[in-house]
Amino acid sequence: MRKLRAARLATLKAAWLVDQRRANVIESSMAKIASAEIAQEAGMLGMEIVGLEAGAGDELIEKLFRDARALNIVEGKGQIQRAIIARQLVGLPR
């Protein structure tokens, strides 16, 4: 619950900065990382709760888990966002 709340608050802060017309590159990248990781963790916990039936291919929790997993694995989203944050913090060009 704590991680979910942290991801939600990071997302709300990034959105608030957009509303204020302020730079939000770091905050939005942090929100993307946190949200993708907690979605994957929640999907994994859901798969554990449902058990072997979840791997049958027709369960919603399996689809949600695969979608969350794809955010980090297929696109390499976490590494890209971390690189964006690092470049912003040290002042490197894009």
- Examine the residue annotation and report whether 75 is marked as an active-site residue of this protein: yes
Question: Whose CA is closest to 44, among 22, 28, 66, 16?
Answer: 66
Give the angle subtended at the CA of 74 by the CAs of 68 and 79, to the nearest 5°: 90
How many CB atoms within 10 Å of residue 68?
21
Catalytically active residues are 75
